[in-house]
Amino acid sequence: MIFTLGLVCHTELDYKLNQGDYNVSLQTGVLYVVATPIGNLGDITLRAIETLRQVDLIAAEDTRHSRKLLEHFAISTPLTPLHEHNESRQMDSILEMLAQGQQVAIISDAGTPLISDPGFIVVRAAHQQGFRVVPIPGPSAMIAAISAAGLPTHRFTFEGFLPAKAAARMAVLRALQKEPRTLVFYEAPHRLRESLEDCCSVFGDDRPAVLARELTKTYETLRRLPLRALYDFVVADPEQQQGEAVLIVQGATHAPSASYEISLDLLLTHLLAHMSVKSAAQLAASLTGVGKNTLYDRALQLSQPGP
């Protein structure tokens, strides 16, 4: 008996489960974006394993880290590094392989590539050159955390990592103070305490929040408390300041009565008084959602002395 698995059944990428066997046939020149586990290896999908076995090359954020995962699943596909420092350079050789009809997969150290991880430059270029890009969905800390947080999920905003510097972090948090959607942040363990403190001061001690730490691993913690109580919980237990964490904060219950508009030039001019062109462009991009490159060009112009 043959069952076809998966909601998306491309004719060239059908999953046929036949008495325990499944076959994947890959189309020429395809870039696969493959999610891998965020801790528990049991979370890898059948499609991920078969795709990683069958592609010609796997571009991995850290090849040493990924080799262990691949060995565990008896995957012997060649690996090449793809990280934030070489992505532009690697893009050309990956595109060249796709042009020759080969298959390439992108993976990151954990979870879904491009979600606070490398891959965007290559994926964008593959689209621009007309290659097919296929997601192989699977774990992501953001989705795992929000799915179990018990905070509203009908609308949420993923904010990635908060800035490391206190002033920039506070600026980002203040810009989100009245945001009605649930806020999801990735946080480095050594900054969790400071970020929680800043969240208390911007959102108030009573805003419901969730710490989702070490998800799918042995010391998984999922704690839902008002922000100040969550801060106290983390401060009281140094264990909670280690490992990997997602911080989720409920959105503002009252939407702002008026929307505030500020010109990009005004925002950039104020930021440039306190930081470099690059930092100003980055911060303005995270505050406004406008592209970082566009803002960088404009910030550069504004930073030049006038005629």
Which of 4-12, 43-51, 209-217, 292-300 is the region at the interface with ligand SAM (rule: CB under 6 A)? 209-217
- CA end-to-end distance (rounded Å), the chain: 78
DSSP calls for 207-237: SEEEEEESTTSTT-EEEEEEHHHHHHHHHH-
Q: Does 156 contact ligand SAM by CB under 6 A?
A: no
Nearer to ligand SAM, 114 or 170 (CB): 114
Least distance in Å: CB of 114 to ligand SAM?
7
The CA distance from 25 to 54, in Å, is 8
Nearer to ligand SAM, 205 or 220 (CB): 220
Q: Does 188 contact ligand SAM by CB under 6 A?
A: yes
How many residues of this chain interact with ligand SAM, rule: CB under 6 A?
24
The only residue of 51, 66, 90, 108 in contact with ligand SAM, by rule CB under 6 A:
108
The only residue of 207, 214, 250, 268 in contact with ligand SAM, by rule CB under 6 A:
214
The only residue of 79, 142, 162, 277 in contact with ligand SAM, by rule CB under 6 A:
142
Q: Does 186 contact ligand SAM by CB under 6 A?
A: yes
What is the chain's alpha carbon radius of gyration, rounded to the nearest angstrom? 22
The CA distance from 105 to 31, in Å, is 6
The CA distance from 109 to 38, in Å, is 8
Least distance in Å: CB of 120 to ligand SAM?
12
Which of 1-9, 107-115, 148-156, 299-307 is the region at the interface with ligand SAM (rule: CB under 6 A)? 107-115
Using CB under 6 A, which residues numbered 42 to 101 contact ligand SAM?
none
Which of 62-70, 134-142, 202-210, 262-270 is the region at the interface with ligand SAM (rule: CB under 6 A)? 134-142
The CA distance from 151 to 250, in Å, is 6
Residue showing the smallest CB distance to ligand SAM in the complex: 111
Q: Does 249 contact ligand SAM by CB under 6 A?
A: no
Q: Does 213 contact ligand SAM by CB under 6 A?
A: yes
The only residue of 63, 77, 102, 116 in contact with ligand SAM, by rule CB under 6 A:
116
The only residue of 13, 33, 34, 39 in contact with ligand SAM, by rule CB under 6 A:
39
Least distance in Å: CB of 288 to ligand SAM?
23
| C-alpha distances in Å from residue 275, one per residue of 136, 163, 217, 284 | 40, 13, 39, 11
Least distance in Å: CB of 184 to ligand SAM?
10
Q: Residues interacting with ligand SAM, by CB under 6 A?
A: 38-39, 108, 110-112, 115-117, 140-142, 186-188, 212-217, 244-246
